[in-house]
Structure 1
Amino acid sequence: MNKNLLSINDLSREEIESILVTAAKDFLELPKRDIKKVPTLRGRTVIDLFYEKSTRTSTSFELAGKRLSADVINVKADSSAMGKGESLKDTVLTLNAYGPDIIVIRHPHVGAPAFIARYTDAHVINAGDGKGGHPTQCLLDIFSLKQEYGELDGLKVAMVGDILHSRVARSNIAGFRKMGMEVTLIAPPPLLPRGVESLGAEVAYSLDALAGVDVVYLLRMQKERHGDSGMIPSLREYIARYCVGRRHISGDQRVLHPGPINRGVEIEAELADSGENLILQQVEAGLAVRMAIMYRIIVDSAAASAEALEAGAAGEDRADADIKNIRAVG
């Protein structure tokens, strides 16, 4: 892996598969053991820096760090100097002075993780940046589908809901396609981004397009990002056309949702409680995958540093030998 995980595009398919293998082999069964910790990151420090509210992602990252035996510090915007107007740059410079190994950041502005990476020596993991992306959610979703289906190439996924404001959609479209899956986006036109065709996904405007897909991926209506723009005529009309229930699901289709769920808006309560959905499996996958990401980002970086030192030493040896040869000839 690279030093940081800022976007799903930072990872090749081979690197994604390596993370999935590590998650499945080393961490998936850990919660079922009597002792739920491993000493992998003992002596390391992880700072979780969250500027937005979160339940699943923040809890998952905190628990992942602790189960890897790292020291985990949670910094929330409303209970720190950030709430007093301190800039993101100054906050990160302050945190960097403590020498953390990993900073996990969630921020409402696109590009914030890449920005702070310029001001810290720590590894930076993007836990969601505005409408930009959510790479760890994408990885845990790929892992969930891998566990359920085995083979991902050719798997057909329909994403339904507020595509325009969804960082999950942006990461997952890219990540799913990288793994060989076919993606269809289903939403009313105002909730689709401009130039949506360039994302490499098919576009549909009704739930009729669910016929023939393997996976139905539901996205909530992100009203907090709509402002006063009136993105849809009415919530009642949206629910009538795009709320998915058990009657829309057939055969071996499975339902995913990144959470939080708005029952009765994008998903009917009966479907949310049914065996067709993999929602809790996604939560379980999130812990294993985020442990694997932190493990790989530290281990791979250490290996790369060791290789660089070895290469540097070898280069110095060759230079010394060349000098000796020159002197001998002279």
Structure 2
Amino acid sequence: MPAIESLSHLLSMKKLSNERIMHLFATAKHMEETDRLPSYQGRFAANLFLEPSTRTKSSFHIAERRLGMDVLHLDDAASSVTKGESLYDTLKTLESIGVDLAVVRQSETGILQECTKGLNLSIVNAGDGCGEHPTQSLLDLYTIHEHFKSFKGLEVTIAGDLKHSRVARSNAHALKQLGANVTFVTKPEWQDPTLTDQYITMDEAVDRCDALMLLRIQHERHEQGASVLSYLDQFGLTKEREARMGEHSIILHPAPVNRGVEIDSDLVESSKSRIFTQMKNGVTVRMAVIDALMKGEL
């Protein structure tokens, strides 16, 4: 396999080697344990969120501020994209006024790949439609690695609205690359042949998985409203199913969580749950990503 060139952007997990992933984890771990963080005072980050976000947007903001960066926040109401300006021209504007890093969430899958051509600022994909969400994947992987210390032979099941999930797409690729065995649970109409053919039932999943990653139903990406009637009983994690999971097993969810739909409400903060640990880890992992981009070491 040819060497992958040094990255100026983080757009996809497919560009990250295992060595780079583990290096980011080592950086994140160091940042957790030190009082002396790198400082990027005088450097500017712009968070351009053209779709709603709570965790990702807030997490990046805290990560940027902890690293001493000045932060601009732009959403669809504040961006000239609503006036017909192209995303590329918006990013070129940010570059021209001195922004060093742009964190972008928007609804068009794959558009950021084209936007990077001719730009001299770093871009992080914070979610592109049904495409990818690499920093969410990295924090998920970091949380799994914290618990199991290795991915080799790990049984991971991703369950939920696979067809519309950028999180599933990023995680499926990275987990397989790192040596995990990945299976999937979903409704037949949400299967995605470009992602996998390794489908099992939720009852099979809880009996075999080391890590169970649940996903919400992405109603905003469905042409017609998706029914949630009996979803928990058929495809979700009930208390009865959770009781069959191994004592070592963990539950993950990128959130927002629809309690009582993909997971019984009582399990969100159960002993197996790492959902809020994922959120905590998101800040540290994103600090590591920013640090690597600012140093040109990603």
Q: Which runs of 5+ in 2 are unaligned?
A: 1-5
Distance 1:59 1:181 in 2: 30
1:182-193 equivalence runs, <5 A: 182-193=181-192
2:16 to 11, 20, 35: 11
Corresponding residue of 1:260: 256
Distance 2:99 2:147 in 1: 36
Equivalent position amino acid for 1:167 in 2: R
Greater Cα radius of gyration, structure 1 or 2: 1
Corresponding residue of 1:133: 132
Distance 2:142 2:216 in 1: 21
1:142–1:206: structure 2 CA closer, same or farther, 3 Å change rule?
A: closer
SS at match of 2:74: strand
User: Contact 2:43–2:69 at 8 Å: present in 1 too?
Assistant: yes
Corresponding residue of 2:3: none
Tell me how far 1:297 sits from its aligned partner: 1.4
User: Contact 1:188–1:205 at 8 Å: present in 2 too?
Assistant: no
More helix by share: 1
Distance 2:195 2:14 in 1: 18
User: Contact 2:159–2:213 at 8 Å: present in 1 too?
Assistant: yes
Aligned residues: 290
Corresponding residue of 2:235: 242
Equivalent position amino acid for 2:230 in 1: E
1:291 to 280, 287, 291: 287
More divergent stretch after superposition (218-227 vs 204-213): 204-213
Distance 2:51 2:22 in 1: 30
User: Contact 1:207–1:241 at 8 Å: present in 2 too?
Assistant: no
Distance 2:157 2:283 in 1: 25
Distance 2:54 2:201 in 1: 31
Distance 1:130 1:42 in 2: 32
Equivalent position amino acid for 2:238 in 1: G
Corresponding residue of 1:87: 86
Distance 2:228 2:289 in 1: 38
1:103-182 equivalence runs, <5 A: 103-182=102-181
Tell me how far 1:208 sits from its aligned partner: 2.8
Root-mean-square deviation (CA, aligned residues, Å) is 1.8
Tell me how far 1:237 sits from its aligned partner: 3.1
Q: Which runs of 5+ in 1 are unaligned?
A: 305-330
SS at match of 1:41: coil
- Deviating beyond 4 angstroms after TM superposition, the runs of 4 or more aligned structure 1 residues are none
SS at match of 2:158: strand
2:296 to 293, 300, 312: 300
1:24 to 29, 43, 57: 29
Tell me how far 1:29 sits from its aligned partner: 4.0
Tell me how far 1:113 sits from its aligned partner: 2.0
